[in-house]
Amino acid sequence: MQLSENALKVLDKRYFNKNDQGETVEDWEKLITRVAKDISSNDPVKCDKYKSLLDSGCFLPNSPTLMNAGNDLQQLSACFVLPIEDSMDSIFETVKNAALIHKSGGGTGFSFSRLREANARVRSTNGVSSGPLSFMKVFNAATDAVKQGGTRRGANMAILNVDHPQILDFITCKEDLKELTNFNISVGITESFMQSVYSNEDYDLISPATGEKKGSLNARTVFSLIVEMAHRNGEPGIIFLDRINEANPTPNIGKIESTNPCGEQPLLPNEACNLGSLNLAVMIKDKQVDWDKLRDTVRTSVDFLDDVIDRSQFPLAQIDEMVKSNRKIGLGVMGWSDMLYQLRMPYASDQAVELAGQIMEFIDFTAKERSMELASDKGSFPNFVGSIYSNGSLDRDGIRCNWPDLIASIKKNGIRNATLTTIAPTGTISMILDTSSGIEPQFSLVFVKNVMDGEKLLYVNKWLEEALEAEGLLDKAILDEISQTGSISHNDKIPAALREVFQTAHDISPEWHIRMQAAFQKYTDNAVSKTINFPSDASVEDIRTAYEMAYQLGCKGVTVYRDGSRDNQVLSTGTSVKSSTDPQVAPRSRPEVTHGITQRLETGCGHMYVTINTDDRGACEVFVQMGKVGGCASAQLEAIARLSSLAMRSNIKVESIIRQLKGIRCQSPMWHKGKMITSCGDAVGQALEQFLNMKDKGELASIKIDVSDEKTAEPVFKSSALCPDCSTTIEHVEGCLKCPSCGWSKC
């Protein structure tokens, strides 16, 4: 497979093996050989088949499989759900288990619905409960600690049922975006609640500890609060739990209460799932869908993902048992938008929605057919008896496939996997294959990629590039124009036929986003990860309509994002150019006189004095002194102080600096006033945090921390939300923040 320069950089940074000195010792050929050998258990025939699959550009498994197969860790799944029962033992056992999963590269989902509400009586101590939100903060802090331990950030999903007595607190718990930063949150919605919304009736709040009624709320009012908060900053999402459990393949084993972090994988407690995605962009032949190639790729991909289950070493014995009892896999797609570009089919069209249903039905049918064949060779998943398959109650009606005969055959012969299909975020694997993410429309057809020394390069969608070249329009001037918005929808220099086809996320109305999600959901066992994008001027009623439409069209959940609704703004379609589009950001000048405070902290290296000074726009500089230390230690402290000062005068929020410094560890931690100081860098972070606390309490009344961006009269199209790794503008797609350049993802 021919890899792009961008793909090679992503692979080198995140996937290729390194030696003890951090040097890359692997390339693409060695990576796919390592993975194919491991998943095939060194079976030569299978190994060749799997290696060809990975090298074809037609399929890739989820990142943990690419990273860990054939290595010491050998944890190959991305999605986990852990149980939380209403006891301290269970809560902190789950905290520990979540940390182990995050360390191994997985993401975790939790339902906090079993935890009793705040101030409910705890008989064992004759005290009162602190409630689920307080424990969510414990999980959030634990996730931060694992991240600081040197592994990638763990991601979490928190779900609370709509009838929990603390549901209002939960809905608003991320009003402050500095809280619960390692969580996505979703409200678990029931059918009865939705009916109460439509009839404008009250519904009961039930204590999970006693089953007693603890009050009632108006359903329409609660739904309106969910909508209002989603309009404000994109959270909470909603999960239709009853609908998810209607499709639960093993209802005799348990009830599904939660999903993984991006919402596409509903799982039973202590269950995991390994995912993989087909690249639809390469399933084109003579400007039509290549159904034969798609069928062959689906069949081999099912074989591969089923073998991943047996090769994976799970961090907990109970997860290993549950996974191998149900053998769930999640085969999904990427490259959908790029496929539509090649077919010259607008994303926002009945034609595209119809094709989506046809393709996903074909994938789902072919996957189940192959899984049934595997069951004949290897046996059905152990919990097959009592599943929806054993009684023939699988609910599928088809456009182009013979479902009645297949369902009858599965009932008779069994099936290897309890679920087969999931549409997951494809993140970095779509970058490796140089294609569009999941079923999302392209976010930007041309974007600016930041490289070293302030140089900026234009990344152009290859199908647009090909189309412009055919029209004789491919030149730097027109690409520069497109890069201002990422869209060609209003560019009169480009033919109308191309403008209609090459749609981007903000060219497409929310209605079409949801219709597309619903079309794929109809033939997906699990769920669909997708972001419904709204323009910045979308109203609360627009969000409400989208949520109701998702419910009416059969989606299992929905995530929305209104452009500009978060502090860490992604891409904007406004009308003025801010200084973020300049090649470099210059810090403001230091005044002749500054005022500040000095704090003394005890570190493992000795007494540290941290001075934080302010100018008329807020914190502007940090000085760090420590006893008589010299040499490298002194130089490092000076470097921390200088870089922190530079960041402050460049309008970086102090909170962002704190997050980078706090939790850094060295070999000499020290207790100071009831807090552990884990290193000199951590001490500076804690000093900055104390500085902000003093400001919030009014003890530093003259200090103004938050600095508004200066407005200009120039047209603006992009905001200053930049990737923390490579400084490219980040996007909000597939339910998460993602960098289109280097592969960084919040999730």
Supply the DSSP string of 697-712, one letter for each residue: TTTTTT-----PPPP-
In the residue annotation, 260 being an active-site residue is answered as yes
Which residue in the list 62, 184, 248, 260 is annotated as catalytic? 260
CB 514 within 8 A of CB 558: yes
Check residue 440 and report its DSSP letter. P
Check residue 177 and report its DSSP letter. T
Residues 6+ apart with CB under 8 A from 275: 61, 62, 78, 79, 265, 305, 329, 330, 331, 332, 422, 424
**Sign of the torsion angle spanned by Cα atoms 500, 504, 509, 514:** positive
Dist. CA 734–CA 427, nearest whole Å = 9
For the chain, how big is the Rg over CA atoms in Å?
Answer: 26
Dist. CA 19–CA 8, nearest whole Å = 18
Pairing mode, if any, of strands 79-82 and 271-279?
antiparallel
Which residue in the list 47, 79, 173, 262 is annotated as catalytic? 262
Check residue 460 and report its DSSP letter. E
Tokens of 293: 């190639």
Residues 6+ apart with CB under 8 A from 339: 280, 281, 283, 284, 289
Which residue in the list 117, 235, 257, 264 is annotated as catalytic? 264
Dist. CA 233–CA 180, nearest whole Å = 14
In the residue annotation, 264 being an active-site residue is answered as yes
Pairing mode, if any, of strands 183-189 and 156-161?
parallel
CA 154 to chain CA mean position, Å: 10
Which candidate, 331, 332, 311, places its Cα nearest to that of 320? 311
Collapsed DSSP state (helix, strand, coil) of residue 587: coil
For residue 170, what are the CA distances in angstroms to 135, 158, 511, 539?
12, 10, 28, 23
The residues annotated with a catalytic role in the active site are 260, 262, 264
